[in-house]
Structure 1
C-alpha cells in the first residue's frame, strides 16, 4: 500500500515523579492510502472514514478530527493540516 500523505501528531504523556508533574511529548504519524487511514493505534479502511476536520486551539497547535463509523477520533497537531485534509477529501470524492 502506497502512502498518499502523512501528518505528524503528538501525544502528551503526563507523569508524576518526586511530587512533580512532568510532561513528555511523543510524536506519531497519521497517514492514508487508497485503502486505509493509519494512526499509532488504529487502522481505518476508507469506507469507515466519513470525514476529516480541523480546529485550532492556539497559534501553534490544533486538533484534527477523524470522523468514522466507529466514532470521532481526535489528534493533537502542530502543523497546518490544510493540504493533508484537502488531499484526503479529493481521494474520498474520487472513490
Structure 2
C-alpha cells in the first residue's frame, strides 16, 4: 500500500568519542501516513488512536511536530513546514 503522505523528520543524539569529545549525530527518518495508521522508524500508530497533530515552529521553517495519541504525545523534529502532511492527516483523523 502506498502512503498518502510522507514527512521527513530528524532524530538527533549525542555521542562521546574516545577523546571525550561530544558529537551530535543527526539521522534522517521518514513518517508515513496511510489510510489506517501513521508509521515512524520504530513506532506504528493506528489512526483511531490519534487525537490530533500539531506543529510548533522555531528557527528557519522547522520546528516540532506533535502527534497526540491515547498513549501520550510524541514529538518529532522537522526542518520544513509539515502543513501538507498535517492537513492530510487531519482529514483521516476526522473520518
| TM-score, normalization by structure 1 | 0.92
1:1-95 pair list within 5 angstroms: 1-17=1-17, 18-93=19-94, 95=95
User: What is the alpha-carbon distance in structure 2 between the residues aligned to residue 92 and residue 46 of structure 1?
Assistant: 6
Deviations 1:17-64 (Å, cap 9, x if unpaired)? Answer: 112110111011111111100011110111001110000121243000
Unmatched 5+ stretches in structure 2: none
Alpha-carbon distance between aligned partners in 2 of 1:86 and 1:75, rounded to the nearest angstrom: 17
Q: Does the residue aligned with 2:3 lie in a helix, a strand or coil?
A: coil
Structure 1 CA distance for aligned equivalents of residues 92 and 48 of structure 2: 12
Count of paired positions: 94
Q: Is the Cα contact below 8 Å between 2:47 and 2:92 reproduced in 1?
A: no
Question: How large is the RMSD of aligned CA atoms in angstroms?
Answer: 1.1
Runs of 4+ in 1 over 2 A off after TM superposition: none
| Long gaps (5+) in structure 1 | none
